[in-house]
Chains A and B, each alone.
Chain A
Amino acid sequence: MSQTEAPARKGGLAAGPLAGPTAWLDDRVGLATIVKKNLRKVFPDHWSFLLGEIALYSFIILLLSGTFLSVWFKPSMAEIIYTGSYDPLYGIEMSEAYASTLDISFDVRGGLLMRQIHHWAAALFLAAMMVHMLRVFFTGAYRKPRELNWLVGLGLLQLGIIEGFAGYSLPDDLLSGTGLRIAEGLMRSIPIVGTYISFFVFGGEFPGNEFIPRLYVAHVLLVPGILLALITLHMVLLVYHKHTQWPGPGRTNNNVVGYPLLPVYAAKAGGFFFVVFGVTALMGALFQINPVWVFGPYNPSQVTAGSQPDFYMGWLDGALRIMPAWEFTILDWTFSMNVFIPGVALMGLLFTILGAYPFVEQWVTGDRRVHHLLQRPRNAPTRTAFGAAGITAYGLLWISGGNDIIATQFQLDFYWITRLLRVLVFVGPVLAFVATRRVCIGLQRKDAEVVVHGFETGIITRSPDGEYSERHLPLSPAEAWTLSAHDRTEPAGLPAASDHNGVAAPHGRVEQVRGRLSRFWVGHDHQKPTADEVREAHEHHADDDELEPAEQQFGGVNELGVPRRH
């Protein structure tokens, strides 16, 4: 037994030359340069920046659990007799796809847990993508230079929805068959070519024997592949652009304030991955999702009350449910507008609006500058109002999708819910727009007021002359800076339609439209106070009714009338 001495450890990345396996790798792939740069990458911290991470982590969970499921799932429409361990279906004829789903649920160890984790992760994936997108929208994070990444994200959402629907349809149970039938109806409603598309996709008459294998290829190979590629692109662009940050002292358009990737941010993000995995696993263990065994194999003659799509398709189903019957025939073609408008056109409309929004906003406001600082929703009242209107419309359609469950659970009349929603779906977004914009402008006024006058302390003093006045507590410079870091917004002026010679200005009409839109867009905004206004206000208060600026946020006064300090 001879003792060998371990070679002395080298300092770290920064100190001394590399040795051991790291050196081996560095010699061959130049690791040190890449890693050194990226390990020091700074990420700003805010809870809302973690929403996209939830989506990323759920996607990883989906890949892991999906791989497990694919070992046992048989994507085949071949008819077999079920002889597994779920008694109420014993001896029933069903497709191999459905039988293997039952086997995963009842005869594969841990199979049901994995199926449920996979399904809950899918729901969380979609929900997190939506919430993340709303965060990006409401904070203006999609503005230049991130428009492309917004579009990539939109593609991810669309693919995620397709992927989710494909997964929902694969088990070939009664619910997924009903869902596929609706999808087939949507295809057929496309004027003139609909029937051909349906026959092309299903390989003949619905349901046929072709569709499940086709869907399987899309679900496990095609769509996840594209998703993975787009996620990579999304991340690469994120690294390239660097993350946006909230305005605050020391944070500018030219820097990023936060923790470096290693060790702090990696620890936070890594820990958060396990939290997401834990929550998904807990949901998979505690809550039933898609209990395919109670639905039974797909049988076109059967149907069950409470047949719904998963939540991300719910709004389209809702639109279908409240759309009045409108169908007409031209020559030999039937135009089923009652299905086409809510089922196909609406989806196209949503994604067109979402895709075009950054560019429309850029055109209307004329703001083509690079932005790395986020906007508070109140500082873009019109955008926030558009967002609120969109959420309202989506939410109302979502409610329509569950109108039967709402009717039974709240003891309401199903028909009246439908009638009410037919009206609300048009009126609601307008009301939401107006109310949200007013609230935002109100909040802008309040911010401006606080910047100029400081906080009201509630301390009333009487001067020897008998004059009452309230003492104000001015903001700390840091707080004042945060509240006034955003830009002023100026509506574009209306250009003259023609010059003094009477020659019509080029693009005159377009510019007129842009001018009007711009006035509508930012004309109502309450502008932050100017430096002069702030200075004047401080001079006005300078006598004795202004307190010393607080270092921290004003926290009220104690019983002696002295502002609390933290």
Chain B
Amino acid sequence: MRSLSTHRRHPLAGVLVLLLGLVVLGGLYSVLAPRSAEADSTDEALIDDGRQLFLVGCASCHGLNADGIEQQDGGQYGPSLVGVGAAAVDFQVGTGRMPLAQNSQQAPEKAVIYTDDETAALATYVASLSPGPAIPTEEDYDASDASREEVVEGRETWLTNCSACHNSVGAGGALGDGRYAPPVLGTDPKYVYEAMLTGPQSMPVFNDALLDPEEKRTIIAYLETLEAEPQYGGAGLGGFGPVTEGLAAWLVGMGALVAVATWIGATAVRARQ
């Protein structure tokens, strides 16, 4: 105690306190600061590859610097990709939605143009522009070991957040203006996870604050349970509900019965014979 009070007016005391402050601050920063895009030197080549691919295949809409192209009326020709993250690129390019075949209300899923390596390069390039959601790892979305409780929880989360657009069995549904929620069953769990993370097209973003990674995983667990489930009670008729059921009642049921009725009536009595 005595030494502290003696030395606190030492000429170097101020410098020492300042140093201490800087070390603590720096240490805290390195622990707490948001991780920047993984742009360390090993990725440099990949980023460069991605940029070359980007300039050829994407820049015509998204701009040379991936910051979007604005139209004269204020609309966007192609949106800015700064900050969308690698997950968005992996989803859009990996499912064939990008590059667009044409300007339309919504990019449909179609044949994939880029190889996995090229997609990875593009994703790395876009991720290097500004931090954004990274591509989830397999342990994020792997729900093969989900318990019954997790499946039940996933069902509840699905019915609360997703089925309003995607339908209770993930058969998809209509949205306004020609947009739609695509069918989900049969989609690679990675893309399901990425879709929740990045909110492609008309879909809202379900970031980790809205649905934490565990909840996302349980949704995938429920979808996989649905997929593996046998079609109890026969052909599912697309999962579209009473519309296809009514169609089946009229076309199959009434069709068959009227055909039989015609057959029975065809051997009718004729008064003149």
Contact = CB atoms under 8 A, between A and B. Distances in A.
A87 B148 contact: yes
A299 B250 contact: no
A432 B171 CA distance: 35
A498 interface: no
B209 interface: no
Contact of A305 (B148, B165, B244): B165
Contacts of B173: 305-306, 404, 408
B222 A259 contact: no
Interface stretch (A8-16, A276-284, A444-452): A276-284
Contact of A47 (B160, B165, B261): B261
> Which residue of B152, B169, B174, B239 has the most chain A CB atoms within 10 A of its CB atom?
B174
> Which residue of A105, A116, A302, A306 has the most chain B CB atoms within 10 A of its CB atom?
A306
Given A248-B272, A288-B231, A413 B178 contact: yes
B232 A105 contact: yes
A401 B159 CA distance: 22
Q: In the complex, which range does the number of interface residues on chain B fall in? A: 35 or more
Contact of B176 (A45, A50, A258, A414): A414
B257 A311 contact: no
Nearest to A289: B245
A175 B159 CA distance: 12
Interface in A116-135: 116, 120, 123-124, 127-128, 131
Contact of A405 (B178, B226, B235, B243): B243
Interface in B239-273: 239-246, 248-250, 252-254, 256-258, 260-272
Nearest to B248: A287
A89 interface: yes
Interface stretch (A150-158, A202-210, A290-298, A434-442): A290-298
A416 B159 CA distance: 28
B15 to A, nearest CB: 61
A275 B271 CA distance: 28
Interface stretch (A249-257, A333-341, A557-565): A249-257
A294 to B, nearest CB: 5
B232 A305 contact: no
Secondary structure type dominating chain B contacts: helix
A380 interface: no
Contacts of B254: 54, 124, 127-128, 131
Contacts of B167: 304-306
Contact of B234 (A91, A116, A302, A407): A116
A252 to B, nearest CB: 10
Contact of B269 (A45, A271, A307, A414): A45
A256 to B, nearest CB: 11
B232 A112 contact: yes
A294 B169 contact: yes
Interface in A288-338: 288-291, 293-296, 299, 301-311, 314
Interface string B209-239: 0000000000000100110000111111101
B206 interface: no
B164 A304 contact: yes
Nearest to B156: A92
Contacts of A226: none
Contacts, number: 220
A89 B155 contact: yes
A88 interface: yes
Interface in B109-167: 148-149, 151-152, 155-156, 159-160, 163-167
A402 interface: yes
A259 B260 contact: no
Contacts of A288: 231-237
B168 interface: yes
Interface in A55-107: 87-92, 105-106
Contacts of A54: 254, 257, 261
B73 interface: no
Contact of A306 (B152, B225, B234, B243): B243
> Which residue of B160, B234, B262 has the most chain A CB atoms within 10 A of its CB atom?
B234
A40 to B, nearest CB: 15
B178 A412 contact: yes
Contact of B172 (A174, A287, A308, A408): A408
B60 interface: no
A125 to B, nearest CB: 10
A411 to B, nearest CB: 8
Contact of B265 (A50, A305, A408): A50
Contacts of B264: 47, 50, 268, 271-272
> Which residue of B258, B265, B272 has the most chain A CB atoms within 10 A of its CB atom?
B272
A357 interface: no
A294 B169 CA distance: 7
Contacts of A304: 159, 163-164, 167-168
B105 interface: yes
B40 interface: no
B160 A405 contact: no
Nearest to A46: B265
B241 A287 contact: no
Contacts of B263: 47
25 contacts: A45-B267, A47-B258, A51-B258, A54-B257, A87-B225, A88-B151, A89-B152, A92-B156, A105-B232, A175-B241, A248-B271, A272-B264, A275-B260, A285-B234, A286-B234, A287-B233, A288-B234, A296-B155, A296-B168, A306-B243, A308-B241, A310-B242, A404-B173, A408-B173, A478-B272
Given A92-B156, A306-B243, A311-B250, 19 more contacts: A44-B269, A45-B267, A47-B265, A53-B261, A88-B152, A88-B155, A90-B152, A127-B254, A175-B241, A248-B271, A283-B249, A287-B233, A287-B234, A302-B159, A302-B163, A306-B171, A308-B241, A404-B174, A405-B174
Q: Can you list the 5 inter-chain pairs with the closest CB atoms, starting with the nearest?
A: A305-B173, A311-B246, A47-B265, A45-B268, A250-B271
